[in-house]
Amino acid sequence: MDPSFLLSFPLLLTLLPPCSACLCKLVHPQTVYCETDVVIIVDILGPGQITRTRRNFKVNVTQVLKAPKGTSEIRYIYTPRRQEDCGYTVVNSHQSQLLIAGYLSRGKVYFTRCHLFYFWYRLTPHQQLGFQSVYNAGCDCQILPCLLCWRNCPEPDVTDCTWKQANYQETDHYKHS
């Protein structure tokens, strides 16, 4: 092979635009619930301001499932501007009953697509109950994923909970043991 090609190939690679994508690891909703500052159900009323790095949405909070004491009224939620940075984009101007988990910074709620955001009505009654009360009670429990159907699950100890998929084809329904 021609040595000039070997020397010029790395240079050509540097001229290509960088590839970026939002990658989130699979985390049990209870883990996200326990590790985030705020879990709320909102109606998105419309877009707010867009800056170079983030966008916000005007919201009406219909239910606060988790928030630190003294948290002021939440009127806007913030997310990265670009989808490649895991920012959320509203499909239509009004989305209602959206469950969002995020973190607080200077009194503002920030979230990404790697946090929770589900339509409340699409959750099963068990999942809704989890967000309303059960997940809070289980924050001391370490979730151990057991998603491989061909392998035995680890035996949990006193502080562990095994996360089993109820049906391999339905990835949004999980069973705790």
User: According to the model, what pLDDT value does residue 137 have?
Assistant: 87
Sheet arrangement for strand 160-167: 142-146, 160-167, 170-176
User: According to the model, what pLDDT value does residue 66 have?
Assistant: 94
Secondary structure of 75-137 as H, E, C letters: CEEEEECCHHHCCCCCCCCCEEEEEEEEEEECCEEECCCCCCEEEHHHCCHHHHHHHHHHHHH
User: According to the model, what pLDDT value does residue 13 have?
Assistant: 46
Closest CA to 127 of 74, 62, 171: 171
User: According to the model, what pLDDT value does residue 148 have?
Assistant: 60
In one-letter notation, the amino acid at residue 17 is P
User: According to the model, what pLDDT value does residue 143 have?
Assistant: 74
Lookup: tokens for 66: 């988790």
* Tens-binned pLDDT, residue by residue, of the chain (177 aa): 666 555 555 544 455 455 556 788 778 888 889 999 999 999 999 888 999 999 999 999 999 999 999 889 999 999 998 888 888 887 665 678 899 999 999 889 999 888 888 899 999 999 999 999 889 988 887 776 666 655 566 565 555 555 555 543 333 333 443
Structural domain spans, the chain: 39-125
CATH fold of 39-125: OB fold (Dihydrolipoamide Acetyltransferase, E2P) (2.40.50)
Distance of alpha carbon 41 from alpha carbon 121, whole angstroms? 11
User: According to the model, what pLDDT value does residue 154 have?
Assistant: 58
CB atoms within 10 A of CB 126: 13
Q: Is 22 annotated as a binding residue?
A: yes
User: According to the model, what pLDDT value does residue 24 have?
Assistant: 81
User: According to the model, what pLDDT value does residue 74 have?
Assistant: 94
pTM: 0.71
